[in-house]
Amino acid sequence: MKKKRNVYLKMKTLQEAKQIIFNQFQLSDRLKKELVPVSDAVGRILADPVIAATSSPGFHSAAMDGIAVHAPETYGASEARPKTLSIGKDAFYVNTGHVLPSGTNAVIMIEKVIEQDPPHVVIESPAYPWQNVRKTGEDIVATELLFPRNYEITPYCIGALLSGGIFSVTVKQKPNVLIIPTGSELVDFRRASLEKLQPGQIIESNSLVLGKLTESCNGSYQRHEIIKDDIANIRQAVREAVDGDFHMVLIVGGSSAGSEDYAKDVIADLGQVLVHGVTIMPGKPVIIGEVNSIPVFGIPGYPVSAIIAFEQFVGPLLCRMLGQPERERNTVQVAPTRKIASKLGVEEFLRVKLGVVGERIVATPSF
Amino acid sequence: MKKKRNVYLKMKTLQEAKQIIFNQFQLSDRLKKELVPVSDAVGRILADPVIAATSSPGFHSAAMDGIAVHAPETYGASEARPKTLSIGKDAFYVNTGHVLPSGTNAVIMIEKVIEQDPPHVVIESPAYPWQNVRKTGEDIVATELLFPRNYEITPYCIGALLSGGIFSVTVKQKPNVLIIPTGSELVDFRRASLEKLQPGQIIESNSLVLGKLTESCNGSYQRHEIIKDDIANIRQAVREAVDGDFHMVLIVGGSSAGSEDYAKDVIADLGQVLVHGVTIMPGKPVIIGEVNSIPVFGIPGYPVSAIIAFEQFVGPLLCRMLGQPERERNTVQVAPTRKIASKLGVEEFLRVKLGVVGERIVATPSF
């Protein structure tokens, strides 16, 4: 005897569904902190503000190749009345970046230095104090805020961190997502062979797509072995996940209302279903639920629907957990190349091919 | 005795310098091909076009939950004249994704099926052929081009690859960049301690910044130990690099014309200097050279200059090697908050802080 078909809860709009998720999950404190070396920190999100431990430069240094001098001793020099300085006494050769010798406070660039019988050099114009000098702390002053909490470390940050004497940073743990592919028709891509594929069998790909999308949102993922359409096994996997180290669970497939769609029952058995069905296409049969205060999603098995469900719900929730703004896609105004009928009461996501005709960007639906 | 100061070659403009690089290095065939599993292919660049090995779906399948029927047998059904079908004989329960039973060519959605005494069901409207059926090859047809050469694999591609029966792809080797930090004043960040830092010493950070930028351009990098200002050691390191497995060498520091700036001489000794000095600020003292047809750069040691040199020359060259378009930064029109004097004959890159005032975006230089 087959189980009774699911009845959809009242469908929610995209905005309602998002609001339900964001209200339900107060996530800001759920991720642990980790200390990582700066060399491994690119792409990670700061859990604490970072304060410079040292100044950079840590000393007054030459900003030009030339001679370092004490500015007042050059005052009055002119073409009519050149001044002679003595290298090693009141002038010192320096290259860019060199520490300024004690007692000096300006650098005269080498092109303006007339070399005479060593150790003498002649200058024809005066230097003003701190000319061509990078002063201590010009780039970074010890104790200054380098980056605030929730800042995403980029390659550009690395220079400021190291120069500010910071060799490791406290970042947020990556949210860890368990992805459970379900469906008796599925074949594991790691063991698939085209010759042995039977009619009705499908190479499972959603778990890898969703995993890589999770990584692109600064999360990490673990892929569960495929579970056949068996409610007890699916329930067991979800229970273990929420008792374990996961911050989110995606049950992929079986989110619809068919007789072998178990995602909703599993979530209802273990916790609560918040949303079943959103008025978007593709992606309509998505399930949003909660077990042990862990978000558990039922992700539709149709690949395009799975991606839309990720982009509209899972990705934004990962961003929230990490204290990041939602990622905005680039947008562009287009003119459709043919009439596109829209379905009443449904927000549609169309895949289109873009082209340029004259000054307009035109879009042709792919399907 | 100090060596003679370098004399700059005639400075080049940014456009001239780029043209010289792109003319000099015909790079398209320099990278080897690698076969990687699809699960490791995200971010990699295809070395060959990818052709689907199988169709997806590989069979006619139900696009709805319902009953599969042979459409002609339903013709004539209406509310006035309902038709009775027999499950297991001329109607078959199917869920979305199920293979269509042999002899059927349409699916009637379950909501329209009136269940009677088993095994009988009643329908009140006919089905047309292929209604609610995903036909073989609807998404992907075997032998069709999935992705062309030079395509960058994204998470979205993974689904199409696996569904098309592709489990590994031929990608371009990552261009491997040797980064050689030079300078007697430098301290390795992996061994730096703020307490032991002497005046004049600097924590070396450029190599890590440049390395992470290389990775962000789909390259890989190896960091050479810091070399003090010693021309023989720098020459030796460059010679080993161009004889080895590297596709590019960055000598960081010593690219200027100071008495301890050896990058230019090293490149001139081993190969040829193509450009020394570009009319940009920061980044002016960059050196572009060639040794054994390998691009060898002299990158200025001042951190901001190093980044500009990377972004203007090294990054675009990495993109070319990989057959990728140059990365364009997002741009925005701004109003400066104060007068910004520009230097004659120099293209300037200013770091600014952006703000919004009314409807305008305003920019204030950071320095």
pTM of the model: 0.89
Q: Does B226 touch chain A (CB under 8 A)?
A: no
Whether residue B156 and residue A58 make contact (CB cut-off 8 A), yes or no, is no
C-alpha distance from A91 to closest chain B C-alpha (Å): 16
Of A295 and B30, more confident: A295
* pLDDT tens-digit map of A272-292: 999 999 999 999 999 999 999
Q: Which pLDDT belongs to residue B9? A: 58
* pLDDT tens-digit map of A88-137: 999 999 988 888 999 999 999 998 999 888 899 999 999 999 999 999 99
Q: Find residue B294's DSSP bridge partners.
A: B291
What mean pLDDT value characterizes chain A?
A: 92
Report the pLDDT averaged over residues A138-165. 95
Which band of pLDDT confidence, cut at 50, 70 and 90, is reported for residue A2? very low
Nearest residue to A174 (alpha-carbon basis) of A33, A28, A289: A33
C-alpha distance from A320 to closest chain B C-alpha (Å): 21
3-state helix, strand, coil in chain B (%, to 5): 25, 30, 50
Report the pLDDT averaged over residues A131-146. 93
Instruction: Return the number of other C-beta atoms located less than 10 Å from residue A199's C-beta.
Output: 13
Q: Does A52 touch chain B (CB under 8 A)?
A: no
The whole-angstrom separation of Cα A55 and Cα A53 is 7
- For B277, the 3-state DSSP assignment is coil
Q: How far is CA A345 from the centre of its chain?
A: 34
Q: Does A87 touch chain B (CB under 8 A)?
A: no
For an interface test with A, the pick among B95, B184, B366 (most A C-beta atoms closer than 10 Å) comes out as B95
ipTM attached to this prediction: 0.88
Q: Measured between beta carbons, which residues in chain B are less than 8 angstroms from residue A183?
A: 97
Contact map slice: A 227-246 vs B, CB within 8 A: none
Q: Count interface pairs A-B at CB distance under 8 A.
A: 158
Beta-strand relationship, A294-299 and A248-252: parallel
Q: Which pLDDT belongs to residue A330? A: 86
Q: Where are the beta strands (DSSP E) in A54-213?
A: 61-62, 66-69, 83-86, 92-94, 106-109, 114-115, 120-123, 133-134, 145-147, 168-172, 176-181, 186-187, 202-203
Asked if A318 contacts A179 with a C-beta cutoff of 8 angstroms, the reply is no
- A-chain residue closest to B215, CA distance: A155
Q: Measured between beta carbons, which residues in chain B are less than 8 angstroms from residue A42?
A: 212, 215
Q: Which amino acid is at A175?
A: P
Domains of chain B, CATH where assigned: 14-32+174-321 (3.40.980.10), 33-56+138-172 (3.90.105.10), 61-134 (2.170.190.11), 335-365 (no CATH)
Q: Does B205 touch chain A (CB under 8 A)?
A: yes
What mean pLDDT value characterizes chain B?
A: 92
Q: Which pLDDT belongs to residue B6? A: 53
Enclosing H/E stretch for A317: helix A315-321
The whole-angstrom separation of Cα A340 and Cα A349 is 12
Lowest mean pLDDT among A153-162, A341-350, B32-41: A341-350
Stretches where chain B sits below pLDDT 50 are 1-3
Q: Which pLDDT belongs to residue A260? A: 76
Whether residue B155 and residue A93 make contact (CB cut-off 8 A), yes or no, is no
Helix A206-216 with B155-163: angle, nearest 10 deg: 170
Q: Does A7 touch chain B (CB under 8 A)?
A: no
Q: Which pLDDT belongs to residue B8? A: 59
Q: Find residue B354's DSSP bridge partners.
A: B363
Given a cut of 70, is residue A174 above it in pLDDT? yes
Report the pLDDT averaged over residues A360-364. 94
Given a cut of 70, is residue A8 above it in pLDDT? no
Nearest residue to A39 (alpha-carbon basis) of B140, B179, B137, B365: B179
Q: Find residue A354's DSSP bridge partners.
A: A363
Instruction: Give percent of chain A above pLDDT 90.
Output: 76
Asked if A96 contacts A64 with a C-beta cutoff of 8 angstroms, the reply is yes
Instruction: Return the number of other C-beta atoms located less than 10 Å from residue A347's C-beta.
Output: 16
* pLDDT tens-digit map of B167-226: 999 999 999 999 999 999 899 999 888 888 888 899 999 999 999 999 999 999 999 999
Q: Which pLDDT belongs to residue B2? A: 44
DSSP string across B16-34? HHHHHHHHH---TT-SPEE
C-alpha distance from A23 to closest chain B C-alpha (Å): 29
Whether residue A5 and residue B110 make contact (CB cut-off 8 A), yes or no, is yes
Contact map slice: B 253-282 vs A, CB within 8 A: 256-261
Whether residue B260 and residue A199 make contact (CB cut-off 8 A), yes or no, is no
Q: Measured between beta carbons, which residues in chain A are less than 8 angstroms from residue B203?
A: 56, 162-163, 165
Asked if A196 contacts A343 with a C-beta cutoff of 8 angstroms, the reply is no
Q: Which pLDDT belongs to residue A220? A: 97
Any idea what DSSP says for residue A352? E
Report the pLDDT averaged over residues A230-245. 94
* pLDDT tens-digit map of A35-68: 999 999 999 999 999 999 999 888 999 988 899 9
Which band of pLDDT confidence, cut at 50, 70 and 90, is reported for residue A3? very low
Q: Which pLDDT belongs to residue B5? A: 52
